[in-house]
Structures are given as C-alpha cells and as structure tokens.
Amino acid sequence: MSRSLPRAAFALLLSLVLTGAAVAVAGPARADRWTYDDAVGDVTTQATTDTSITVTPVLEQANGDIVQVTGTHKARKVSITMRMRAPLTGPFMVSAMLRVPGKRFMVMAPKMPGFSSTELMELSMDEDASRCRGIKRTVAGDRMSVRITVPRSCLGNPRWFKFGAMLTTVALFTDASYDDDALATGTSLYGNAAMSPKIKR
C-alpha cells in the first residue's frame, strides 16, 4: 500500500490554507443545508516524478466518482454526505476542509490497511481537536454514499461553516490512487480548490 495517498490528500487541502485561493461554488444555500451536483466522470489520477506532478482524467473510473455532495448544519452536528456514481469498493479516504468563523479544520477519514481512525485537526494548532469525541465516517448499506459527521462542539459551536471535500480511492493489486474533488470538475494537487457557501444555523 502506497504511503503517498494520505500525503496527497493532505497537500491538496493544505493548499487551501497556504494559498488562500479557495473559491466559492455558485448557488443558493438554505439556512441549514446546501447541495451541489458534481460532474460525472471527473476522477483523476496522479503521476509524480522528481520534478513534476502530472494529473490525468480517468473518465471510465466509476469507483469513487462523486455525483452529489450535501453539507448539513444541525443543532448538534455538521455533516458532509457524498453520493457516488457506483458502489464504493476497496480502500478509500474522505478528506474535508471545514472553515468556521476564525478557524479552519481538516478531517481525515481513511478506510484502508494501516489507516483507519477518523481525525479532526485544528489548523491554527491552538487546540488539540483530534481528542474530540463523536466524529464519524459512515458508509451507506448500498455503498452508494459516504458521510462524515462532526459535533458542532468540536468546532466551537459556529454560526456557519463552509467546506471543501475530496474522495480518494485505491485500486486493489495495482496500488494506483484516484481522486475526485466533490466541488469541482477534476482536481489537482496544487490547483484552486472550491469551497461551499456558508451553511448557517
């Protein structure tokens, strides 16, 4: 199993923080829920050399191809639900950036050998958010959707939150990895990643 998979997802999400290049996806938001229809067939794979990173679209890759994502803001928790084009199979990782007033968090939710715990990291490093209880990753029984849930108390009970998210899958036996940015057509490791509008309570 390649150890570069978590690093790739981490680097993509961290680029939001370092470059400040996140752009909001157009569309109205309800007070507590926002849904976005992601493009079908926009999964990509990466090839890395000592001097460059090449991102290639893989149109036929149905596993891990997100077709819709919904952010929900309830009284006690926030959640991000990704619906797929085909049943999710094999190892995978959900990565999400959460922005609330004055803070940014990263959620890493892998399901793969050697990486199984769901973690929340507060990017300012002022607090150890990873100790917060109740953070969950749930795969639907038909494996057509995956959800991550974070208690609002872990985020400081914010008035609103914004999110960006990505699903990474790994092909069994070949160890190739595939990425789909839930809020954009395709994804690149250092490209401009999209974030949702504010989802308010």
pLDDT at residue number 50: 79
pLDDT tens-digit readout, 165-181: 999 999 877 778 999 99
One-letter-per-residue 3-state SS of 29-44: CCCCEEEEECCCCCCE
What is the DSSP code (8-state) at residue 186?
S
This prediction's pTM: 0.80
pLDDT at residue number 153: 94
Summarize the chain as % helix, strand, coil (round to 5).
10, 45, 45
76 class by beta-carbon count within 10 Å (0-12 exposed, 13-18 middle, 19+ buried)? exposed
pLDDT tens-digit readout, 104-153: 999 999 998 877 788 888 886 655 555 688 999 999 999 999 999 999 99
- On whether the CB atoms of residues 64 and 33 are closer than 8 A, the answer is no
